[in-house]
Amino acid sequence: MERRKFIQSMLTASAVAATVTPVALMAKEEAKKAAPKGPNALSIDAAIDAITGGKGAKDSDKVQLTVPEIAENGAVVPVKVHVDHPMEENNSVKAIHVLAAKNSNSRCADVMLTPANAKAYFATRIKLSSTQEVVGLAELSDGTFIKAGKSVKVTIGGCG
Amino acid sequence: MAEARKSMIKIKPKKFKVGDTVKVDFIVIHPMDTGLKKDKKTGKIIPAKYIDNITFLFDGKPFTTMKVWETVSTNPYFSVNYKVTGKGKITVDYTDNTGEKNSKSKKLKPKG
């Protein structure tokens, strides 16, 4: 009898250990990742507030964001932003902003456009630290802000 | 101007007329260090070095200005549209956070 009890207790103990340790490790790793670092660390909410002056931005179909669904290499993720809006003297897209929600610095690029551009279009390549949402934000000449977001799955992060 | 960086301006499509809208692509060889990565050999953190301001000019008149951060990829690529108004020169001026200034130009020759 004693031997049986001993073995049973051993089994349960090992099972508990097996379930506890990975969870604890994961939590530690997440805490490491979540800690903001770097000289320009800025969260996405703070970045949007800074851009819009606290007004916030509306989701809109006018902003067409082209990003890959799955990015194998997080160091090079192509992003295209196209805003379906005329570019006339008094009715234009003033600026396009590209933001990445979970990077330590979520601001990627601010592009100030003029009517000479003829089309509100901007393309670049950005780094993504992990699977996250990429946001394209456009400022119109009447002072309103519109945005669109798309999630990108990242296999290997590229933010050091 | 510490060192001349390799950079390139591409106009797409190659053949265009006055009044056409073309894509102006700008590519530059630049490390874009975030200041977070460690050098594997020495164990020291590589200091941040990234392009922060870019201005696209046509005959000295700016038509697009950009502010970018270290989250843009190494050897960055930027693309904007431009409506051709005539013959001239497209210039891209760029500075990085360490104060390095560079510039690149390309002639714009519309046909017809």
Residues on chain B touching A101 (C-beta within 8 angstroms): none
Average pLDDT of span A10-36? 56
**pLDDT of residue A5 exceeding 90:** no
Residues on chain B touching A118 (C-beta within 8 angstroms): 21, 81-83
- Residue B1's pLDDT band, with cuts at 50, 70 and 90, is very low
CB A113 within 8 A of CB A30: no
Nearest to A99 by CA among A144, A148, A61, A55: A148
- Residue A81's pLDDT band, with cuts at 50, 70 and 90, is very high
Instruction: Give Cα separations from A44 to A16, A49, A102 (angstroms).
Output: 39, 8, 7
Model pLDDT for residues B79-93, shown as the tens digit of each residue:
999 999 999 999 999
Model pLDDT for residues B14-72, shown as the tens digit of each residue:
899 998 999 999 999 999 888 888 888 888 988 889 999 999 999 999 999 999 988 89
ipTM above 0.95? Answer: no
Report d(CA B81, CA B76) in Å as an integer: 17
* Selected residues 132-151 of chain A with any CB under 8 Å from a CB in chain B: none
With an 8 Å Cβ cutoff, is B12 touching chain A? no
Residues on chain A touching B86 (C-beta within 8 angstroms): none
**pLDDT of residue A134 exceeding 80:** yes
**pLDDT of residue A6 exceeding 50:** yes
Name residues whose C-beta falls within 8 Å of residue B100's C-beta, 6 or more positions apart in sequence. B1, B2
Higher pLDDT, A6 or B111: B111
With an 8 Å Cβ cutoff, is B105 touching chain A? no
Residue with tokens 């700008």: B26
Residue with tokens 């509100």: A120
pLDDT at site A122:
94
pLDDT at site A11:
65
Query: Looking at CA atoms only, how far is residue B81 from chain A in angstroms?
Result: 5
**pLDDT of residue B76 exceeding 70:** yes
- Name the closest residue on chain B to residue A124, using Cα atoms: B78
pLDDT at site A38:
63
Q: Residue B34 and residue A100: Cβ atoms within 8 Å?
A: no
Out of B63, B71, B74, closest to residue A117 by CB: B63
Q: Residue A116 and residue B80: Cβ atoms within 8 Å?
A: no
Query: Looking at CA atoms only, how far is residue B37 from chain A in angstroms?
Result: 5
**pLDDT of residue A72 exceeding 90:** no
